[in-house]
Structure 1
Amino acid sequence: MKVVRTDKLRSLLDAWEPHTVATSPHLKALGFTAQDVQNYTASHWLVSLGRGAFKRPMETVTWQGALYSVQSQLKLPVHVGALTALEMTGNSHYLRFGESKAYLFSPLRVVLPAWFQTHWGDEVRHMQSKLLPNEFGLTEQRSPEGYPLTTATPERAILELLHLAPKEFDLVEAGQIVEGMTSLRPKLMQPLLETCASVKVRRLFLYLAERVNLPVMRHLNVEKIDLGKGDRSLVRMGRYVPKYGLLLPKELVSNGG
C-alpha cells in the first residue's frame, strides 16, 4: 500500500538534518514504529542504508553526516582525530595534497555500525586506541554542512598523529606538521602528555617540539612527563637522539643530536 505524505511524515522529512542518517533508535524516540518505517521505505519516502539506518531520497550523505548521526543518535564515543582534526580545527595548511582518508578515533572495542562501514569504509580509517583518556582534549567543530562533530583539539590531534607515525604518516612529514603548531595551549598539552599511554609519542612530541623551539615548550614541566626506559627505533637507518632515546630519520636530527 502506497503511503501518502501525512503531517507526521512531513514533519519528519522537514526536520531532517541535510545529508545525515536517521537511525532506528532515533526514529523510535520520535514516535515512529518499525511498521511506519517499513511503510515509508516501501513507498520510497525513506531509503534504507542497511539494518537500522535510513536517508532521505535523492540526497547524498557524506561521512561527516553519517558520523554526526553515530555521535548524536547512537552516542558512540567516536571522534574526528589526527590530521583530519587539525584540518577541521582551522589548520587547513596541514592537509596533504590528495588526502582522502578521514581519521576517526575511539576507545578499544568500539565498533562502527555495519551500515557505516559498508557505505563509508573506503573514506575513513577507524583507529581503536587507548592512547588517551576517552573524553579529554575533545571539542566541537562544525562540518561543511554546519552540524557539530566531536573533534580532537589540536593538542590531542597532534599526539594521535604521532601515534600513527611512521606507519600512517612519514616522520619527516610529522616533524613539519609539529613545526607549524605554534599555538598549542600548555594547560591542555601538559595533562595530555602526562596521561598519554605511549612512551614513543611522549618522547617524539617533546623532541620535535624542542627541535623547532615551539612556544609551548617554555611552559611544559617535562619532569612530570614519564619518558620510560630503553630506546625506541622508529627507522632502520637513522640517527640516534641520546636525550630521548630515539632513532629517527637523519633529516630530523642535526649532527649534534
Structure 2
Amino acid sequence: MSTDKRIKINQLLSTHAPGVVYLSSWLVQQGYSLDLQKRYRNSDWFTSIGTGAMIRSGDKVGYEGALYALQKQAGLYVHPGGKTALSLLGKSHYLELSANKVTLFGGQQEKLPTWCKQHDWGVKLDYHSSSFLPANIGLVELELKTFSIKVSSAARAMLECLFLAPKHQELIECYQLMEGLNNLRPNLVQDLLENCTSIKVNRLFMYLAEKANHNWVKHLNMDKINLGSGKRSIVKNGVYDPKYKITVPVELANGEL
C-alpha cells in the first residue's frame, strides 16, 4: 500500500473512536472511494460485517456501535427506547430486564439495514418503526466509553413502553417503571404528550402518572393534550376507569401490586 493511502487510513482511525461501525456510503462522502475501501479490507485494516458496513479488524463492536453509525453517519433516528433506554439511563435497576434483548425505535419510514439485522451483536434487536411521536423530540445524548449515541429520555421511554403495552409489555410493569420517574421535567412531558398521536398512550400515561402521585403532574396543561373520545378497552376482564375511559388490569386498579 502506498504511503499516501497509509496516511489516509491512519487519519481515519485516529480521528474516530474504536467500537463503531463504518458505513461504506459515509466513507465515500469522506473521500474514501469504494476501491480504496476494498484495498483497506484486503490489507486487513477493515473487516466487512455485511454489504455497506465495516469495522476495524480485530475490534469488538456491540449494537451501540451500529447505532452510532446509523445516527451519526446515516442520519437516522433509530435509538434505544422503552425499557432499554430506561435501563441505560439507570431508571429501571429494580426491574428484571432481558439481558439478550434490546428495544429500538425509529421513524415510520426508517428500517434497519440488512447488515444490522443479520450481524450477531450478542443481543436480539427488537425494532419498532412508528410515528406516534415525532422523531426529534425527547432524545438525549448518552456518553459511552469511547463515543456517544442518542437514546430516549426517561419521559419518551415511558411513552414508548406504553406504546408496546399491553401486548408486548405488561401494564403492571409499566406502572412500576412510572413510579420511579418522580423528577421528570413538566415542559418536556407536555411537549411529548401534545405531539403524541396515540390516544391509548396519552390516557395510560396520565392514568399511571396520577396513580403514582407525581408532583410534576399538576404542572401539565391538560387542555392541550389530546385524550380523544369514547372508551378504550386496554385489557380484557379489567376495571373501567371513568376519568380516562380505559379498562385496566384489576391488580392495577385495586393497588394489588
Tell me whether the two structures share a fold, i.e. TM-score over 0.5: yes
Does the 8 Å contact 2:143/2:149 carry over to 1?
Answer: yes
Task: State the SS of the aligned residue for 1:25.
Answer: helix
Q: Give the Cα separation in 2 of the matches to 1:164 and 1:211.
A: 20
Aligned to 1:135: 136
Q: Which residue of 2 aligns with 1:112?
A: 112
Query: How far apart are the structure 2 equivalents of 1:240 and 1:92?
Result: 28
Number of residue pairs matched by the alignment = 253
Question: 19-28 or 3-12, which moves further after superposition?
Answer: 3-12
Other structure's SS at 2:167 match: coil
CA distance in 1, matches of 2:28, 2:68: 18
Task: State the distance in 2 between where 1:125 and 1:252 align.
Answer: 27
Q: Is the 8 A contact 1:63 1:123 kept in 2?
A: no
Structure 1: runs of 5+ lacking an equivalent: none
Contact 1:165 1:171 in 2 (8 A): yes
Match of 2:224 in 1: 224
Per-residue deviation at 1:3?
A: 7.7
SS of the aligned residue for 2:118 comes to helix
* Contact preservation (8 Å) 1:87, 1:94: no
Structure 1 SS opposite 2:140: strand
User: Which residue identity is paired with 1:127?
Assistant: H
Q: Percent identity?
A: 40
Separation in structure 1 between the aligned mates of residue 162 and residue 99 of structure 2, nearest angstrom: 17
Cα distance in 2 between the residues matched to 1:146 and 1:41: 23
Q: Give runs of aligned pairs for residues 146-225 of structure 1, distance below 5 A.
A: 146-225=146-225
Alignment correspondent of 2:88? 88
Alignment-mate amino acid for residue 230 of structure 1: G
Q: How does 1:46-61 map to 2 (within 5 A)?
A: 46-61=46-61
Rounded Cα–Cα distance in structure 2 between residues aligned with 1:74 and 1:94: 35
User: Are the equivalent residues in 2 in contact too, given 1:80–1:149 (CA < 8 A)?
Assistant: no
Q: Where does structure 1 differ by over 6 angstroms across 4 or more consecutive aligned residues? A: 2-5
**Deviations 1:131-155 (Å, cap 9, x if unpaired)?**
1112111221113x23121111111
- The one-letter amino acid of 2:185's match is R
Kindly state the Cα deviation for residue 94 of structure 1 after the two structures are TM-superposed.
5.5
Query: SS at the partner of 2:156?
Result: helix
Tell me the CA shift for residue 224 of structure 1.
Answer: 2.4
What CA distance in whole angstroms lies between the structure 2 residues aligned with 1:97 and 1:104?
14
| CA distance in structure 2 between the aligned counterparts of 1:99 and 1:163, rounded to whole angstroms | 21
Q: Tell me how far apart the structure 1 counterparts of residues 45 and 226 of structure 2 sit (CA, whole Å).
A: 57
On the 8 A contact 2:20/2:66 being kept in 1, the answer is yes
Q: Is the 8 A contact 1:3 1:39 kept in 2?
A: no
Cα RMSD, aligned residues only: 2.0
SS in 1 for 2:251: helix
Alignment TM-score, normalising by the size of structure 1: 0.91
Deviates more, 1:200-209 or 1:220-229: 220-229
Q: Distance in 1 between matches of 2:81 and 2:120?
A: 16
Structure 2: 5+ residue stretches without partners = none
Match of 1:18 in 2: 18
